């Protein structure tokens, strides 16, 4: 309904809208939609990150894509949903917190919309919760490889008051990947000291 879409704070109006909404996870859904908009004739028109994860330390997500054709929009949602398990592959949980790593060799619209990733360049997301773990992971990543810092999000800056430290990086694909992998290693060590070995629910993809 046009009365609704005018009140949805969308970046642009479209005839059809597709919605991806989750209690747990922002990064996995955003990176999945990043693939979906690359593969379909759709655009990202809103990305919002509630403070959720059902009592956990992180975010949920509300992502809206638009297209002029309903079949394109439906296809985008299908592609994104199919990619979500992959992008949970480097999300590691323990009772004390979580880690999240994301990597793409070519960032597209969703990573740009949400995290200001330069389109077409490699992008990496390095997150740790509680936030102090994310700070150490970010430091490790930047010492491991020569990459550009896009931003560092923390409870009071660039998150929805989540208890996360999140480094966003860009640059040469090999360097970004190397930085992400180095951060994952130290994150698993640190979080593992608090409440047992962190576990991922899907196979690692990075």
What is the contact mask toward a second copy in residues 18 to 47, using x (rule: CB under 8 A)? -xxxxx------------------------
**Of residues 86 and 160, the one with the C-beta less far from a second copy:** 160
Q: Looking at the chain, which runs of residues are DSSP E strands?
A: 16-22, 43-48, 61-67, 91-94, 97-104, 122-129, 148-153, 165-171, 199-200
Residue 37 CB, shortest distance to a second copy, in Å, is 17
Footprint (CB under 8 A) of a second copy, residues 176-205? none
Bridge partner list, 22: 61
Contacts 24+ apart (CB under 8 A), 152-156: 155/131
Distance of CA 18 to the CA centre of its chain: 18
Which range in 3-11, 33-41, 103-111, 170-178 contacts a second copy by CB under 8 A?
A: 3-11
Token output for 18: 């597709």
**Of residues 82 and 195, the one with the C-beta less far from a second copy:** 195
Residue 183 CB, shortest distance to a second copy, in Å, is 11
Angle at 110 between CA 107 and CA 111, to 5 degrees: 45
**Of residues 11 and 204, the one with the C-beta less far from a second copy:** 11
Q: What are phi and psi of 42, to 5 degrees?
A: -135, 165
What is the contact mask toward a second copy in residues 57 to 96, using x (rule: CB under 8 A)? x--x-x-x-------------------------------x
From the list 35, 87, 92, the residue with the least C-alpha distance to 65 is: 35
- On the question of a cis peptide bond just before residue 130, with omega within 30 degrees of 0, the verdict is yes
**Of residues 10 and 119, the one with the C-beta less far from a second copy:** 10
Residues whose CB is less than 8 angstroms from the CB of residue 30 and which lie 6 or more positions away in sequence, other chains included: 47, 61, 63, 110, 111, 114, 115
Footprint (CB under 8 A) of a second copy, residues 138-157? 138-139, 142-143, 149, 151-152, 154-157
Residue 175 CB, shortest distance to a second copy, in Å, is 13
User: Could you list the residues that contact a second copy (CB under 8 A)?
Assistant: 1, 3-4, 6-9, 19-23, 48-52, 54-57, 60, 62, 64, 96-97, 129-133, 135-136, 138-139, 142-143, 149, 151-152, 154-157, 159-165, 167
């Amino acid at each position: 309904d046009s009365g609704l879409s005018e009140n949805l704070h969308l970046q642009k109006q479209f005839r059809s809208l597709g919605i991806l909404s989750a209690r747990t996870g922002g990064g996995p859904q955003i990176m999945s939609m990043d693939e979906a908009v690359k593969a379909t004739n759709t655009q990202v028109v809103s990305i919002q990150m509630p403070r959720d994860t059902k009592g956990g330390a992180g975010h949920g997500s509300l992502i809206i894509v638009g297209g002029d054709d309903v079949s394109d929009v439906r296809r985008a949602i299908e592609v994104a949903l199919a990619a979500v398990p992959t992008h949970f592959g480097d999300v590691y949980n323990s009772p004390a917190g979580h880690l999240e790593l994301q990597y793409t060799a070519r960032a597209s619209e969703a990573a740009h919309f949400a995290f200001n990733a330069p389109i077409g360049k490699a992008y990496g997301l390095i997150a740790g919760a509680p936030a102090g773990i994310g700070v150490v992971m970010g430091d490790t990543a930047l010492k491991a490889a020569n990459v550009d810092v896009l931003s560092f999000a923390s409870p009071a800056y660039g998150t929805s008051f989540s208890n996360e430290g999140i480094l966003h990086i860009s640059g040469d694909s090999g360097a970004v990947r190397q930085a992400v992998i180095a951060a994952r290693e130290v994150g698993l060590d640190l979080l593992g000291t608090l409440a047992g070995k962190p576990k991922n629910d899907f196979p690692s993809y990075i």
